[in-house]
Amino acid sequence: MNHYFKKIRVISPEQKLDKVVNLWVKDGVIKHCNEKDAEIDTNTTVIPSEKLVAAPGFFDMHVHLREPGQEDKEDIQSGCEAAANGGFTGLCCMPNTEPAIDHPTVVEFIKQKAKDNIVDVSISAGITVKREGKYLSPMLELNDYGVSFFTDDGNAVQNSNIMKRAFEYAGSKDLLLAQHCEDLLLTEGFSMNEGMISTKLGLKGYPSVAEEIILYRDITLAEYCGNRRYHAQHISTAGAVNIIRKAKEQGIRVTCEVAPHHFSLSDTLIESYDTNFKMNPPLRTEKDIEALMEGLSDGTIDCIATDHAPHTLYEKEVEFEKAPNGIIGLETALAVSMTYLVHTGVITINQLIEKLSVNPRKILNLPEIIIKEGEKTNLTIFAPNEDWIIDSDLFKSKSRNTPYNGMKLKGKPKFVINNNQIYNSNL
């Protein structure tokens, strides 16, 4: 897998590196990274790369791989292929499997299934047993087995006392707790964002305060329990951005992520009744989108994560109210982010790389990726200015529940290199 990327732009924000070089990857190691030409061997493929960017491999910290238990939607192999196809060299899988990830045996199962893949798989586990919000999971033991962080993702911990105990328990090893912020009493039976559109369509709404109430509670508890580490998953409202901004200003150890669909799509699209626009949190208003973009620009929002949520065709092809929430995102995230954030001037390409690569790894205490001669290669290579039309038939995911099919976007993944393997995107 020896490749010579001629005149490629290399961007590594942590290294303050942004220059055009000739990059030679040989046997999984960076052999040459210099403006000068290298004397390459005959076993090396030369790739003209004037229009390409190489960055530390992208990492998605919010992915539903569905295995074990829901392999008809996705499995570890297909999810990793989708990640590589979309430009990711690492991901963290969520615990809402069947059985849930709340025991070392499930963790070990996933680790074995993901072994030797080009995509590194980190694992999150439930804060509570079976993600039911009643009893704390054995977090310390699970951490010993390599669990990155803890969340009942999809089932927000409703009981404040349970959440307080979780922060206290996690504090002994400074573990990271994360939350899908949703007050379930306010959202029961929802189909979309609560507002003018939901009223017009006669659909049950999810009020923005349902997200903000749990977020504010958790941040308050995290501070009360000794300023514990806390991560807010897929925030979607202007109020959530403001809460996190103020918490950071006060020195509270909070981080957060946003999904590409929440800064690129609004609740007006629900008027089509296309179930590929149904998700949790739901699509919000243009005002919320503006606030998310401001949060991305000023650093309030730390990273971009897809919340890749595969569902079968038969599940989604039902009445809007009955359809499950969620869309796939691994193979569209880069293009959506480039199109709506970088090419519109909201953030720079360097900032995007921070949010797709650097910051997720920092939050999860994963090793920093260094791009220099002698280092192992972990790279995402993409064409930032290439226009293309999304064709879900080319996806490697088992599922096709995307709202972006047929959409023209700008910015396309090309290669990922990791673990002495290379993947050529076929999108």
In DSSP terms, 6 is beta-bridged to: 48
DSSP annotation string for 221-237: HHHHTTS--EEE-S--S
φ/ψ of residue 223, rounded to 5: -70, -45
Closest CA to 207 of 215, 219, 198: 198
Which distant-in-sequence residues (6+ apart) come within 8 Å of 71 by Cβ?
none
The predicted structure's pLDDT at residue 104: 97
Which distant-in-sequence residues (6+ apart) come within 8 Å of 343 by Cβ?
410, 411
Closest CA to 79 of 358, 413, 331, 405: 331
| Alpha carbons 293 and 315: distance in angstroms, whole number | 32
φ/ψ of residue 375, rounded to 5: -90, 150
For the chain, what is the mean pLDDT? 97
The predicted structure's pLDDT at residue 324: 97
DSSP class of residue 111?
Answer: H
Amino acid type, 194: E
- Find the mean pLDDT for residues 263-273: 98
Strands 230-232 and 254-258: parallel
| Alpha carbons 133 and 372: distance in angstroms, whole number | 46
**Contact assessment for residue 59 and residue 45, using Cβ atoms and an 8 Å cutoff:** no
**Contact assessment for residue 383 and residue 411, using Cβ atoms and an 8 Å cutoff:** yes
Closest CA to 66 of 360, 312, 317: 312
**Contact assessment for residue 181 and residue 215, using Cβ atoms and an 8 Å cutoff:** yes
The predicted structure's pLDDT at residue 1: 74
3-state helix, strand, coil in the chain (%, to 5): 35, 25, 40
**Contact assessment for residue 346 and residue 340, using Cβ atoms and an 8 Å cutoff:** yes
Q: Does domain 57-363 have CATH number 3.20.20.140?
A: yes
Q: From start to end of 272-391, where are the E strands?
A: 303-304, 379-389
pTM metric for this prediction = 0.97
From residue 352, how far is each of 20, 305, 348, 398 by CA, in Å? 18, 12, 6, 27
Catalytic residue ranges: 307
From the candidate CATH numbers 2.30.40.10, 1.10.3720.10, 3.40.50.970, 3.30.70.270, the one assigned to the domain spanning 3-54+373-424: 2.30.40.10
Which distant-in-sequence residues (6+ apart) come within 8 Å of 19 by Cβ?
9, 10, 35
Taking the domains of the chain in order of start, what are their residue ranges?
3-54+373-424, 57-363
Closest CA to 87 of 422, 416, 327: 416
Closest CA to 330 of 309, 315, 358: 309
| Alpha carbons 379 and 25: distance in angstroms, whole number | 10
Which distant-in-sequence residues (6+ apart) come within 8 Å of 220 by Cβ?
none
In DSSP terms, 124 is beta-bridged to: 149
Closest CA to 86 of 62, 56, 119, 111: 119
Q: Give SS3 for 10.
A: strand
Which distant-in-sequence residues (6+ apart) come within 8 Å of 177 by Cβ?
127, 149, 150, 151, 166, 167, 170, 218, 222, 228, 229, 230, 231
- Find the mean pLDDT for residues 192-221: 98
- Find the mean pLDDT for residues 94-112: 98
| Alpha carbons 268 and 400: distance in angstroms, whole number | 22
pLDDT at 344 over 80: yes
> Percentage of the chain surpassing pLDDT 90?
99
The predicted structure's pLDDT at residue 206: 98
